[in-house]
Structure 1
Amino acid sequence: FILNVITILRLFLTKLKTLWYSHNASDKTSPLTNWQGERRRVSQNLTLRCEQNTMFENVSGFHSLSPMIQDFLYYRHCRSFPIILDLPDKCGGDDEPEDVFLLLVIKSSPKNYERREALRKTWAAERSYKGKVIRRIFITGTEGSGFEEEKLNKLVRWEHQHYNDILQWDFKDSFFNLTLKQILFLEWMDRRCPQARFLLNGDDDVFAHTDNMVEYLQSLKDNNGNKHLFTGHLLKNALPVRNPENKYFVPLQVYEEEVFPPYCGGGGYLLSGYTALAIYKISVSVEIIPIDDVYMGMCLAVMKLKPDSHMGVKTLYWHIPSRQVDKYDPCYLKDLLLLHKFMPSDLYFLWQEVRNPNLPCIVTHYSLLF
């Protein structure tokens, strides 16, 4: 009898805890408590939905790999992670979908607050340009541990409440999870924003001339986002890095082929809504590798779709053939689409300068045609 009473009391207390967390999670006046309750919930779901695949321990050479790569292989199959911050109405919602011409999808980490602020006030500002709607989304996971993680995610939550521009999932935001971040976004797009005509997919440290992008996309013949487009800094015949000391090291246990398929550098590229959703649908059958831009090329290769080169996109390097011209001269940048990498302070300056109609430039020295 006593054991039965104890069991009933335990069940009752568990129910009270559940109700308490549920009540606090719905309290919009307490962002930290709200986030903590949500974090507990999604962590419990994650434990149930994604288990470690220990079969990889039998793969030759597994134990010689770094803990980071081992961890990637253990959870490589996991593609479904709970969403912490959502944007259900970013594209107008189901009842009144908005005609989004260019959706800016920017990969960011929770700690990169200054970068996000700079982008919101420069090239990633939500607006209409020449009658075409531009919308912005930052995609991120979680970062840090303990108090640091709570602090960073509280900051992200406040940003989200103020700007309504962050998608966050409950997975570790790391270099090895960039591909996962892309897949989760495409899943979200398929559900929440399938009508977006074109996308810019890029990092939070690039300079993107979004006005030029709209003009370029408007100039396409017979493609209003309903046909294939994937263009950027094209890389062909790239070899997997087999040096374990390199950041981009890809061991044979992760990717066996000797050459990567053609792909565009992940700093930034443009693609149509048609191609984005096609990649999402085929991605279920393409095994994840940690290099996200290569993975997109792998998906395109399976569908026999080709990525294209655009001379206005420079994600790896760029060169001005004159020692008398500053590398960041706005006269050079004003005709490009995208360059990588920039500090937030440089972005403020350049965005104002390249859009200055009175910028004094010698056309013959700087002009770069699309």
Structure 2
Amino acid sequence: MFMNFRRIRKCQCMQLLTTGLLLCVVMVCWDELDHHMVSHMRSYTYRYLVNSYDFLNSSYALSSSHHNRKDGHYDADGRFGNYPYLINHPGKCGGGGGHGKSLDDVLLLLFVKSSPENFERRQAIRDTWGNENFVWSELGASVRLVFVLGVHPDVGQRSRVQSALLQEDQACGDLIQQNFLDTFHNLTSKLILQFHWGHEYCRQARFLMSADDDIFVHMPNLVKYLLRQSGAKDLWVGHVHRGAPPVRRKDSKYHVPHDLYPWPSYPDYTAGAGYVVSGDVAAKIYHATLLLNSSMYIDDVFMGICAKAMGVSPQEHMYFSGEGKTPYHPCIYYHMITSHGHTTDVHSLWQAATDPTVYTNSGGFFSNLYCTTVKVALLCLPYYQNTYSCMAAFT
């Protein structure tokens, strides 16, 4: 009896120690748990049960009072932006920006958001997937590529970088720059710049794409997809985030305070790394930027707010990547549209992804079975959740 009593006491002590240890872990990790579990439960409940974002029209309508923005200003009408151009090419889409002049038939107006110092990234894009001549000669489609940027935020480097940008633009003629600081908190200014420039100088473009300068676009696949969508209306396609909660952790780059956005869930939006809209949607977003204040400095979320206000919903495309880099494999290349996180491997990936053998080796029962097996092994894993979904393995 004495031995059994001692065993019971030891068991109780172990239970108490284990419980105490678990409580300590929960207390230490509570912020992380709250972000990943509680906030997501709140946001999904709001998104899928309440599913109402009527507050956007009233809360984001232009008024005389706005949240302060870092490195920026509001104009007299309450719109954020309207910065003067430092570099511009009004005739990029033909017509020289004037009325009564002929305009080129443009399938895709391609905006690449770039930082002033990223010279090598821009050149790699020009040499590969953003090469207008390649797209025209090999794919028979008219694409206009422009890089959108602000000014270098470091005063000490600004003059040197700006001089280099002017030389780059003189050689390439594809930079669009406005006089705002090129910082994370001014990404919404870049978004506004894209839709305003497109409306002013390339309104005839059938589609508009916004992409980061560390993204890879499989241009042959994208062109084929867009040609199949000819005449499409209300098209907004990409990697869709549904019911995403605002990040409340102050140490996060994406922190959004309650006074800026007090609701538990964002409207649906596509990852800002790369998405495509049809011309009619581009016009709607342009008009939304005239009606809504742009205090939301996360550009893809602001895009979702504008789209929701205009009655446009995003559509999921399985081969538009999220925040992650997609696996390297010919079975992936056959369908891929975008992949994110490419800075040094753009040339090699372009050569591999556009190799004609990728298409000659595809097709047939055994080839399809092989590729499905490979894609299941590559995509149906937790650490690839921000690229293509597991469902993409079966397409």
Structure 1 partner of 2:356: 357
2:201 pairs with 1:192: yes
Amino acid at match of 1:165: D
Gaps of 5+ in 2: 1-62, 373-391
Rounded to whole Å, the distance in 2 between the matches of 1:281 and 1:70 is 21
Rounded to whole Å, the distance in 2 between the matches of 1:162 and 1:297 is 36
Cα deviation, 1:271-302, whole Å, max 9, x if unaligned, reads: 11111111011112222111101111111111
Structure 1 partner of 2:84: 82
Rounded to whole Å, the distance in 2 between the matches of 1:152 and 1:136 is 21
Rounded to whole Å, the distance in 1 between the matches of 2:260 and 2:120 is 34
Secondary structure, in 3 states, of the residue corresponding to 1:237?
A: coil
Cα deviation, 1:45-98, whole Å, max 9, x if unaligned, reads: xxxxxxxx9977xx9xxxxxxxxx763687585321000000111001241211
Structure 2 partner of 1:293: 300
Change (3 A) 1:157 1:363: farther
Secondary structure, in 3 states, of the residue corresponding to 1:313?
A: coil
Which stretch of structure 1 is more off in the superposition, 334-343 or 105-114?
334-343
Structure 1 partner of 2:333: 333
Cα deviation, 1:236-281, whole Å, max 9, x if unaligned, reads: 0000001110010001222222210000000001111111111011
2:173 pairs with 1:164: yes
Q: CA deviation at 1:329?
A: 2.5
- Contact 1:54–1:74 (Cα < 8 Å) also in 2: no
Secondary structure, in 3 states, of the residue corresponding to 1:314?
A: coil
Secondary structure, in 3 states, of the residue corresponding to 2:148?
A: strand
Q: CA deviation at 1:330?
A: 4.0
1:1-370 counterparts in 2 under 5 A? 71=70, 77-93=79-95, 94=98, 95-127=101-133, 128=136, 129-220=138-229, 223-224=230-231, 227-288=233-294, 289-317=296-324, 327-344=327-344, 346-359=345-358, 362-366=367-371
Q: CA deviation at 1:224?
A: 2.6
- CA-based RMSD of the aligned residues comes to 2.4
Change (3 A) 1:243 1:146: closer
With normalisation by structure 1, the TM-score equals 0.74
Rounded to whole Å, the distance in 2 between the matches of 1:115 and 1:73 is 26
Rounded to whole Å, the distance in 2 between the matches of 1:105 and 1:168 is 12
Rounded to whole Å, the distance in 2 between the matches of 1:73 and 1:101 is 33
- Contact 1:229–1:307 (Cα < 8 Å) also in 2: yes
- Contact 2:325–2:342 (Cα < 8 Å) also in 1: no
Q: CA deviation at 1:177?
A: 0.5
Rounded to whole Å, the distance in 1 between the matches of 2:371 and 2:171 is 39
Change (3 A) 1:73 1:144: closer
Amino acid at match of 2:231: N
Rounded to whole Å, the distance in 1 between the matches of 2:144 and 2:318 is 24
Q: CA deviation at 1:111?
A: 0.7
With normalisation by structure 2, the TM-score equals 0.70
- Contact 1:183–1:280 (Cα < 8 Å) also in 2: yes
- Contact 2:245–2:266 (Cα < 8 Å) also in 1: yes
Task: Report sequence identity in percent.
Answer: 34
- Contact 1:331–1:354 (Cα < 8 Å) also in 2: no
Cα deviation, 1:128-159, whole Å, max 9, x if unaligned, reads: 15322111010000013344101111111111
The structure with more radius of gyration: 2
- Contact 1:104–1:201 (Cα < 8 Å) also in 2: yes
Rounded to whole Å, the distance in 1 between the matches of 2:193 and 2:69 is 22
Gaps of 5+ in 1: 1-52, 60-68, 320-326
Amino acid at match of 1:352: Q
Rounded to whole Å, the distance in 2 between the matches of 1:343 and 1:351 is 12
Q: Which has the higher contact order (CA 8 A, sep 6+)?
A: 2
Rounded to whole Å, the distance in 1 between the matches of 2:270 and 2:69 is 27
Rounded to whole Å, the distance in 2 between the matches of 1:364 and 1:354 is 20
Rounded to whole Å, the distance in 1 between the matches of 2:325 and 2:65 is 44
Secondary structure, in 3 states, of the residue corresponding to 2:265?
A: coil
- Contact 2:71–2:180 (Cα < 8 Å) also in 1: no
Structure 2 partner of 1:63: none
Rounded to whole Å, the distance in 2 between the matches of 1:190 and 1:134 is 16
